[in-house]
Amino acid sequence: MGLFKKLSSGANSMFKKIDSGAGSMFKKIDSGINQAANFTSNVGNQVTGVAKQAGNFLEKNAGTISDVAAGVALASGVGAEFAPAILAAGNSAQLAGSRLKKGAVASNRLIQNNVSQSQAKASDFNNSLKTAVAGAINQGNTTSQNMINQAQSKSNQLGDQLNSAIASAAAPNQNMNNVVVH
């Protein structure tokens, strides 16, 4: 029966194309997940990098800047009463710079950890979906092949029954030809 062979071949071909298309789609999704994670990670690095640099600058230079500013205020004679406030502000800026730098490092760790976890969860979901789709495709292929096999079997049974019926119908006529009339 060539018809069933063609049906079987067509079904296999269709499911292979579906599987190939699904595989390509899931590769693109994985690539997109990685690109989004890399972009987010880079943005996090840049933002926290600027904060870290600002904190580092303040931490290292606030004391010197406030010392110079207080010295200028004292030397000018006009702002002598502001000198202690300038020195205190410099110490506060130095402390704030240290905290800003530590906060930037902690924030970057948190961002990178969240990006990594989100990327892993998205990849896990994509892989789970890919596995489910592949299972559905395999099940569809198996089911279609079973249906084709059952149809072929039923067709063969009907053909056998038809051949038996034809043979039975032809048998009485053959017996009649052998009868001799006297």
Q: What pLDDT digit, counting tens, does each position of 90-149 carry?
A: 888 888 888 888 999 999 999 999 999 999 999 999 999 999 999 999 999 999 999 999
Q: What pLDDT band is residue 154 in, cutting at 50, 70 and 90?
A: very high
Q: Are the beta carbons of 45 and 104 closer than 8 angstroms? A: no
Which two three-digit tokens encode residue 111? 């961002």
User: In the chain, pLDDT over 90 holds for what percent of residues?
Assistant: 35
Q: How confident is the model at residue 73 (pLDDT cuts 50, 70, 90)?
A: confident
Whole-model pTM above 0.85? no
Integer Cα distance of 115 and 88 in angstroms: 40
Per residue in 42-71, pLDDT (tens digit) is: 998 998 999 889 888 888 888 888 888 888
Integer Cα distance of 28 and 38 in angstroms: 15
Mean pLDDT, rounded, of the chain? 86
Residue 108 CA to residue 127 CA, distance in Å, equals 28
H or E element, residue 179: none
Distances (CA, A) of 145 to 12, 70, 81, 88, 156: 8, 89, 95, 84, 16
pLDDT recorded at residue 128: 92
- List the one residue out of 63, 38, 17, 30 whose CA is nearest residue 116: 38
